[in-house]
Amino acid sequence: MNTQIISISDPAKQTAELARAAEILRAGGLVAFPTETVYGLGGNGTDDGAAKKIYAAKGRPSDNPLIIHIAAPEDADRYAVVNNTYRRLASAFMPGPLTVILPRREIIPRSVTGGLDTVAVRCPSHPVAHALIALAGIPIAAPSANLSGKPSPTCAAHVIADLSGRVDMILDGGDCEIGLESTIVKVEGDDEITLLRPGGITYDALCMVIPNVHIAPAVTHALAENERPLSPGMKYRHYAPSTPVVLLAGDSADVTAFLAAEQAAKKCAILCYNEELSLLRPERLFPVGARDDLAAQAQSLFRLLRQADGEGADVIYAHLPPQTGLGLALYNRMIRAAAHTVKEIRHH
Ligand code: TXA
Ligand code: MG
């Protein structure tokens, strides 16, 4: 398949290009597009055939459900059964990096929801995503636009590397602002939700709007062999580079000293803090941002994991993030990339 790659710098002026992309979607084709979180791989969310094409293009198991992307928060009512909890979340956080799981309406085929009776709904704030969904006039089913098992794409180059020849069109809208996938919550009833995947909308922000916010155990912990995840996506080892990733915890000076010693002993790639650049050998170092700048670390994480994995190193070292604020989303992605391998560094 020949993949068209179109750069969209100003969606308001490039309506002809966006109309072509919307036409491809309406005709059952696939279009990758930027969002504020990561790039999505879009298809018609009411079309069984389009869903099958999405799973095939990604190489993704078809029991892992897709998110339905809508142009306006109130459109959710057409595809899902909404309640006051949804309306409260929508008015606080939409458009934006929040996905809400609700009971599914018949118009969304089971192939899209991986056989579930619930559907995930999200209203992205990115102007290109918004314009595309509005022009298409249909709900857009879209997982992240990476091959299954690769980190989510945060720029068009990642999408091109993974999906060129497998989709009809890729819209290049530059770098994604947040860099981690949306926060996913499941509506449990009035005033009660469960956080299934942390993201740009933090636990604290959710608590300001909804009285009861539970955190699914799989957000921070490995599932036991026989445990059933609340979200099918939790059971897959996502975001995992082929080089082993080890997360380091401990006093910052001790961790930096450990890294310097490891650099002398083996071939390591290091996702380091900017403050460490002058303290380590300038070899396979990938600065993630300043130590306290969690937003910069979130934005760069997937790009740097892709780069570090291309170095042919023995190991990728990174810092264990805090579990507070945006740190919880970083923590969740990084412990999965590391298959829960955390090394405590103690002073000696
Ligand atoms: O930021 C994002 O959410 C990006 C952009 C493109 O919008 N999309 C994204 O999609 O990350 P994906 O498919 O890579 O991740 C969606 C996750 C999966 O882990 C899936 O299992 C879960 O959402 N999910 C979808 N529908 C669900 C449902 N009905 N119940 C439970 N989990 C669901
Ligand atoms: Mg994904």
Query: What CATH number did the domain enclosing 69 receive?
Result: 3.90.870.10
Give every CB contact of residue 292 below 8 A, 6+ residues apart in sequence.
none
82 lines ligand 1 (CB under 6 A): no
Give every CB contact of residue 9 below 8 A, 6+ residues apart in sequence.
173, 174
Q: Which atom of ligand 1 is nearest to the CA of 181?
A: 1
129 lines ligand 1 (CB under 6 A): no
Predicted TM-score of the model (pTM) = 0.96
178 lines ligand 1 (CB under 6 A): no
Q: Is residue 208 part of a domain?
A: yes
How many C-beta atoms surround the C-beta of residue 74 within 10 A?
13
pLDDT at 134: 98
How many C-beta atoms surround the C-beta of residue 340 within 10 A?
12
pLDDT at 222: 80
Ligand 2 centroid to residue 178 C-alpha, Å: 15
pLDDT at 110: 95
Q: Is residue 90 part of a domain?
A: yes
122: exposed, middle or buried (Cβ count in 10 Å: 0-12, 13-18, 19+): buried
Query: What CATH number did the domain enclosing 339 receive?
Result: 3.40.50.11030
Q: Out of 219, 237, 254, pick the residue that ends a domain.
A: 219
pLDDT at 63: 84
Hey, which of 64, 67, 170 would you mutate to test ligand 1's pocket, going by the most ligand atoms within 8 Å of its Cβ?
67
CA triple 266-269-271, angle to 5 deg? 135
Question: What are the angstrom distances between the C-alpha of 296 and each of 171, 278, 302?
Answer: 24, 19, 12
Ligand nearest 196 Cα, by number?
1
Judgement on whether residues 147 and 294 belong to the same structural domain of the protein:
no
How many C-beta atoms surround the C-beta of residue 244 within 10 A?
15
Q: Out of 183, 204, 219, pick the residue that ends a domain.
A: 219
Judgement on whether residues 293 and 331 belong to the same structural domain of the protein:
yes
Judgement on whether residues 200 and 311 belong to the same structural domain of the protein:
no
Ligand 1 centroid to residue 67 C-alpha, Å: 5
Ligand 2 centroid to residue 41 C-alpha, Å: 10
pLDDT at 149: 84
188: exposed, middle or buried (Cβ count in 10 Å: 0-12, 13-18, 19+): middle
Q: Is residue 133 part of a domain?
A: yes
pLDDT at 347: 74
Judgement on whether residues 258 and 212 belong to the same structural domain of the protein:
no
Give every CB contact of residue 255 below 8 A, 6+ residues apart in sequence.
248, 249, 319, 345
Distance CA 147, CA 152 (A): 8
Instruction: State how many domains the chain has.
Output: 2
Ligand 1 centroid to residue 148 C-alpha, Å: 13
Q: Which atom of ligand 1 is nearest to the CA of 69?
A: 7
Question: What are the angstrom distances between the C-alpha of 84 and each of 72, 165, 213, 265?
Answer: 16, 43, 15, 58
The whole-number mean pLDDT for each consecutive block of 10 residues of the chain, a chain of 348 residues, reads 97 97 98 98 98 95 92 98 98 98 98 96 98 98 94 97 98 98 96 97 98 95 71 62 95 96 97 98 98 98 96 97 97 94 88
Q: Which atom of ligand 1 is nearest to the CA of 234?
A: 19
Judgement on whether residues 106 and 70 belong to the same structural domain of the protein:
yes
Residues 139-160 as b or e (16 or more Cβ within 10 Å = b): bbbbbbbbebebbbbbbbebbb
Distance CA 49, CA 28 (A): 7
Distance CA 119, CA 21 (A): 24
144 lines ligand 1 (CB under 6 A): yes
Helices 127-136 + 15-26 axis angle, to 10: 50
Cis peptide before 95 (omega within 30 of 0): yes
Hey, which of 116, 117, 130, 144 would you mutate to test ligand 1's pocket, going by the most ligand atoms within 8 Å of its Cβ?
144
Q: Is residue 240 part of a domain?
A: no
Ligand 2 centroid to residue 191 C-alpha, Å: 28
DSSP H helices, 59-185, are: 76-79, 84-93, 127-136, 156-163
pLDDT at 348: 60
Ligand 1 centroid to residue 277 C-alpha, Å: 35
Judgement on whether residues 181 and 306 belong to the same structural domain of the protein:
no
Ligand 2 centroid to residue 144 C-alpha, Å: 4
Q: Domain of 153?
A: 4-219
Distance CA 234, CA 229 (A): 6
119 lines ligand 1 (CB under 6 A): yes
Judgement on whether residues 212 and 316 belong to the same structural domain of the protein:
no
> What spatial distance separates the first Cα and last Cα of the chain, rounded to whole Å?
58
Q: How would you classify the pairing of strands 67-69 and 118-122? A: parallel
Q: How would you classify the pairing of strands 31-33 and 183-189? A: unpaired
Residues 21-56 as b or e (16 or more Cβ within 10 Å = b): bbebbeeebbbbbbbbbbbbbbbbbbbeebbebbbe
Distance CA 38, CA 180 (A): 6
pLDDT at 60: 84
- What's CA 171's distance to the chain center, in Å? 18
Ligand 2 centroid to residue 216 C-alpha, Å: 18
35 lines ligand 1 (CB under 6 A): yes
